[in-house]
Amino acid sequence: MTKTKTPTVLLDCDTGIDDALALILLAALHRAGRITLAGVTTTAGNTTAEQAARNTRWILGLAGIGEEVPVVAGEAGPVVVDLVTTPETHGPTGLGYAQAPAAEVGYDWQGLWREVLQDDGDALLVVTGPATNAAVWSRANALPKHITLMGGAYLYPGNTTPTAEWNSWVDPHAAKELFGAVTRPITVCALGVTEQMLLTPKLLEESVAALGDCALAKVLEPMLRFYFEFHQAQGEGYLAQVHDLLAVMIALGIVDVEAHTLRVDVEADSALLRGTTVADFKGHWNQPANARLIIQANVAQAWDVWREALGLLRAFHSAS
């Protein structure tokens, strides 16, 4: 009988409230031995790369993961344009009304990628922030075989401009460079799918209750209250779209999806269309596919996965 290998995961994020939920999921699965979270690197987007690293370390710590999982700050800003962060979406330091303590962070993100990718050539790289690190990496190194990217809005309204999604808008040149560099289609989780996963106040209440007296339980509410208020101010209702949580589940293959494999590209230089993503559904460009664009995901199943992860964290806490 062949034994299935435990997936190795390298997360590249800009923590960020929904990135934090993705980290909580990964922490639970890592502690349960279902994945190996080999490292986390950060990009600048929702907040600075340094602050994202502090946020990451704090969230992982609250989820019971210490220094055994390295957390390193990545590139300080986009490859061409100036950095813009989004305190109005994710709060002054990225975690809504919650605040990570001050902490030293490391900077050798390429060293960490090298180590992880040399150890396991099948490692899953999941990018839930701007594609800056991945683009820089692609200039001198082979890209990992398995990449999942949260970003873009394909035939779908943007959340930053009428046509652009935030991660693609922050560093459009990086997104374009990454899609130009890949040698096999990467999995793309764009707004058309990720906006389907909506965390409601009721689900938050259930999530907090599911965690029992884990330290994390006290942080979820102030983080998500900020995110609910942001979405309400945007006219979406008092709820939160949790893009990165769904993207990580899709990367791990633990929710059912439908996908189209095709060519995509990103507009980087026009002011009007900065960060606009285009998918060649009809093959007009006659170019090889570079994306496995997710067009449907089973969100009910995703919430079951989330509930199970919180139950695992509670069980680990009770056993400690």
Which of 146, 243, 284, 317 is an active site residue? 243
DSSP label at residue 156: S
Site for ligand BDR in 85-104 (CB under 6 A): 89
Judged by beta carbon, residue 96 or residue 129, the one nearer Ca ion is 129
The interface partner of residue 166, options being Ca ion, ligand BDR, none and the CB cut-off 5 to 8 Å by kind, is ligand BDR
> In the beta sheet, which residues pair with residue 241?
198
Q: Does 16 bind ligand BDR (CB under 6 A)?
A: yes
CB of 241 to ligand BDR, least distance (A): 7
Q: Does 47 bind ligand BDR (CB under 6 A)?
A: no
From residue 268, how far is each of 73, 272, 276, 278 by CA, in Å? 24, 10, 8, 11
Other Cβ atoms less than 10 A from the Cβ of 253: the count is 13
CB of 247 to Ca ion, least distance (A): 9
Q: Which stretch binds Ca ion (CB under 5 A): 152-160, 183-191, 220-228, 237-245?
A: 237-245
Query: How far is residue 285's CA from residue 273's CA, in Å, rounded to a whole number?
Result: 19
Listed as own residue / partner, the contacts of 110-114 with beta carbons closer than 8 Å and 24 or more positions apart are: 110/136, 110/137, 110/141, 111/72, 112/10, 112/39, 112/41, 112/70, 112/72, 113/10, 113/39, 113/41, 113/137, 113/141, 114/141
CB of 94 to ligand BDR, least distance (A): 9
From residue 236, how far is each of 27, 170, 198 by CA, in Å? 29, 22, 10
Please identify which residue in 244, 255, 273, 314 interacts with ligand BDR, judged by CB under 6 A: 244
φ, ψ for residue 173, nearest 5 deg: -65, -35
Please identify which residue in 18, 171, 265, 267 interacts with ligand BDR, judged by CB under 6 A: 18
Query: How far is residue 113's CA from residue 137's CA, in Å, rounded to a whole number?
Result: 9
Q: Does 19 bind ligand BDR (CB under 6 A)?
A: yes
CB of 90 to Ca ion, least distance (A): 8
Site for Ca ion in 104-143 (CB under 5 A): 128-129
Packed helices 17-31 and 49-62: angle between N→C axes, nearest 10 degrees: 40
Site for Ca ion in 242-271 (CB under 5 A): 244
CB of 40 to ligand BDR, least distance (A): 14
Which residue type sits at 41?
Answer: T
CB of 47 to Ca ion, least distance (A): 10
The interface partner of residue 169, options being ligand BDR, Ca ion, none and the CB cut-off 5 to 8 Å by kind, is none
- 243 catalytic, yes or no? yes
Please identify which residue in 30, 54, 243, 274 interacts with ligand BDR, judged by CB under 6 A: 243
Strands of 186-189's sheet in order across: 71-73, 36-42, 8-13, 124-127, 146-150, 186-189, 291-297, 257-262
Site for ligand BDR in 133-172 (CB under 6 A): 150, 159, 165-167
With contact defined as beta carbons under 8 Å apart, do 86 and 52 qualify? no
Please identify which residue in 16, 77, 94, 144 interacts with Ca ion, judged by CB under 5 A: 16
Which residue type sits at 170?
Answer: V
Q: Does 96 bind Ca ion (CB under 5 A)?
A: no
Catalytic residues: 243
Residues near ligand BDR (CB under 6 A) are 16, 18-19, 46, 89, 128-129, 150, 159, 165-167, 243-244
Residues near Ca ion (CB under 5 A) are 14, 16, 19, 128-129, 244
